Amino acid sequence: MIEPAHKKILYCVLNWGLGHATRSIPVIRALQAKGYEVEIASDGGPLTFLRKTFPDCQSHALQGYNITYPTSSVFLNAISQLRNMFRAVSTERRQIAALVTQHKYSAIISDNRYGCYHPSIPSILITHQLRNLAQTSLMSKPGEWLVNGYLRHFDEIWIPDTPDRMLSGKLTDVSMKKVRFIGHLSDQVYSPMEKQNDIAAILSGPEPQRTKLEEEILPQLANYPGKCVLVQGLITHDPPRQEGNVTIYPYLDRPAINMLLNSSEVILCRTGYSSLMDLLQVGAKAILIPTPGQPEQIYLGERMQEYEQFVVQKQGGVDVVEGIEHLKNQVFMHEPEQHTEILEIALRSLKRTNQY
């Protein structure tokens, strides 16, 4: 049994937009409620975000992956990222080894950082990406071999989805004994209220695609005859500004995002996995724009077309007015999701992982 006098978890988060950081919030809070001391390790925006969200948690800076999506070509993007990924994983393995020696952790939980494990303590990977969705076997097989090689270092794989794979679909369609579903992870709360904004665009994800989408939609928002909000997804100290009918925020904290999701007629955002979990939790109508060159988001966009609350458009062909008009006519009943029980079961497994 892992029951030291002082239980301590190292929680590591990938810097790939803020999605991996935001979905970590309910897990970290649940760990703290169980009496664990949680230390955070990440880099860039997610590290800054988590330090603000959990100011009492000690934190550590890790080597960044520096992932970008410069082209719409899946193949070229993958090739360009491999060297950065190999280097980052190798570096973070050394960093984790040093941190474990120094801080004597009870376990490690890693959200999509493949080098954040240690053979002497239970190591858990949180991921929804167990299959490579490249269109050809020439591209998909090497990626799957690479990922499977990393997965073998972890004692358990926790998937933020329900056992029926309602959201992840074929992304998690694999047979592995150490896979555990922990439910959708969102700290957002459904709160019926009067709508204050016609549309709120919440941007996220790696550059340069984040900027390209902003440049495409901002003129459309400025010309829309209604109240619009744009959240750029940039963690800065710059104040909000007003451009015509558009209120522009460089960054909003999670309570403010929660207010925006509940008080806006329509949301515009990426088909990032964490963003979708938030939208499903609050029942928000949304225009979804998959990131070009990112097969997972393209696949999730295809799946989300089955939901009445979403309309999916392609970057480069975004039509804000058309999306809003379509969603205005959609009526659906929303019931907030409750998956705390299966997350609780997973957290209890931390006491048993040394029996593998």
Which comes out higher in pLDDT, residue 45 or 146? 45
Read off the pLDDT band of 142 (50, 70, 90). low
Residue 66's pLDDT is 66
pLDDT over 90, % of the chain: 65
Residue 220's pLDDT is 97
> How far apart are the C-alpha atoms of 261 and 283, rounded to whole Å?
9
Distance of CA 83 to the CA centre of its chain: 23
The residue to which tokens 């992956």 are assigned: 65
Residue 124 bridge partners (DSSP): 109, 156
Read off the pLDDT band of 356 (50, 70, 90). very low
230 phi and psi angles, rounded to 5 deg: -125, 120
DSSP state of 291: P
Does 240 sit behind a cis peptide bond, omega within 30 degrees of 0 on the bond before it? Answer: no
Residue 237's pLDDT is 81
Give the pTM.
0.87
> How far apart are the C-alpha atoms of 69 and 60, rounded to whole Å?
26
pLDDT digits (tens, 9 = 90+) for 250-270: 999 999 999 999 999 999 999
Looking only at the bridges linking them, the beta strands covering 246-249 and 241-243 are antiparallel
Nearest CA to 17 among 54, 52, 57, 68? 68
Residue 298's pLDDT is 94
Residue 354's pLDDT is 45
pLDDT digits (tens, 9 = 90+) for 152-209: 999 999 999 999 999 999 999 887 889 999 999 999 999 989 999 999 999 988 788 9
Nearest CA to 175 among 211, 193, 151? 151
